[in-house]
Structure 1
Amino acid sequence: MAQTGDDQPQEFPAQQQEPPGLTDEMQPVPDHGERSYQGHGRLAGLKALITGGDSGIGRAIAIAYAREGADVAISYLPEEKPDGEATAALVAEAGQRCVSLPADLTEHRACVDLMETAVGELGGLDILVNNAGYQMARSTGIEEISPEQLDRVMRTNLYALFWLTQAAVRHLKPGSCIINNSSIQAYDPSVSLLDYAATKAAINNFTVNLAAELGPRNIRVNAVAPGPIWTPLQPATQPVEKVKAFGQDTPLGRAGQPAEVAPAFVFLASPAEASYVSGTVLGVTGGKPVF
């Protein structure tokens, strides 16, 4: 099995799903920190919106934020409802409120409505985590990328990021923060993920640029760049042979688990621990360089 710590499997079982993929159909099921994450009140009393919060890295962030004392709103596609309900239950088990908000973020109106509902339900907003993302690996050249696929990748990974941030800024107070989910693909792009990798490089630029704009308002903007992390996106968007060897090309020799990424999002959200950290892209890559 793929686990955190010293267990370093040679490969994952052969498997594939239809996008967007579901957690319980994965072999093995990812570790989101359900048993391991222990909170210390770092985010007590804060309110966070996490896009793509139903599964993978988003679920791990939701669990960690709740155990650190934050109320959480999560968005996800309507077809991801089973994963969304499971995440909401885990947040509730931590004693915090979870607002579930199914939405298709490729539409501007949906992003604006999502933000207004999240702020209204939570009673404010302190942390925006732009985590939702989409990819689809290809086996041939650039000409295989259809207009429909390019539009979906750009709208999910970039347009939604802009739209949600625009809608959030007027609600964010001094001391609040925005955290974007970048990727090792911004630094070491895979040929099969040309369109996806391009959006992640753009997210890095967006992060640094927005940090400069919002710094005078004491709103911090950072990003996390994960390496190969075992989430439903992998068996749903990668060919079987890639899934089996997923993560083996890292210096640590294995894929990471969502639970290993969430602490980076906690650190960057913490008003005490990251109060002077802005305009930074923090790598969680299994040893792959981020520069």
Structure 2
Amino acid sequence: MKVTNLTDVTEFILLGFQGTVQLRVSVFTLLLLVYWVTVCGNLLIISLVSSSKNLHTPMYFFISQLSISDILLSSDIAPNTFYILLNNGGSITFLGCMSQFFIYCVTELFECLLLAVMSYDRYVAICNPLRYTSIMTIVQCKRLAITFWFFSLFTSFIDTLAASRLKFCGMNIIDYFFCDLVPLQEISCSDTFPLKLQICLLSFPFLGIPSIIIVVCYMKIIHAILRISSNISRQKAFSTCSSHLTVVSIFYLSLFCVYIFPTSGQTAEINKITSLLYTVFTPLINPIIYSFRNKDIKKAIQEKMRKKF
């Protein structure tokens, strides 16, 4: 693509996953199945939580918010990835790239905050059960969700605005499957240090503080569980937070592998596969974990089935 000045880049070429036709078709089929199950599974959870009175509790309200975020993330990444796979690469406009990056940022930042408050919810339920209903009210949970969405939107807008000001000097080929900040910085010819510093400062309240909250909450939860004398009661207490702990572990480990841990020596393909884990497969895992390992969700599904049949 020829350019006349430093900012004359109107589109980017996403290489995606290069390979044979058979390999790309196989990956396309797998991701299409994953996307379909993700959307259906998360829509099912949203429907159950909104219509079943037994699920009108803070924990399930947060799970439904997580499902909304997962649908947005999957729908932001998957459709364009399908196109890239079928065509062995594809173009995306500059505006489309920034829009994709914006939605991606919103969902990731929101999920960081949401997983932290869900950890606190489990902490209160296990360590301070007598005050749970007075601390974690539905009204308070809705206020928190609205606040999280607002701050995620605001911060993502600032990050996207800063990313849109990068100069690319005619370089518009991105060896990735979506518009993320790291590959954009790699092809940029401008000084990226100010942007990296801004992202770091803005991301700390969404990544650093939630991580600390999650670690502290689960340290207290584990300590409280170990003090329970009855094995049955101990297993019951742990089962109430094991699903959330699994989701948190998968989400943060994959996120840290891409953005926090050193990437020297890792190939671009490894980074792509790691990114697929939390952008495509984590939204699939969430409804599976929260449905198959949750008695209340199973009961709500059975009630719905009985009413229809």
Task: Flag the structure with higher helix content.
Answer: 2
Whether TM-score is above 0.5 comes out as no
- TM (normalized to structure 1)? 0.30
Rg bigger for which structure? 2
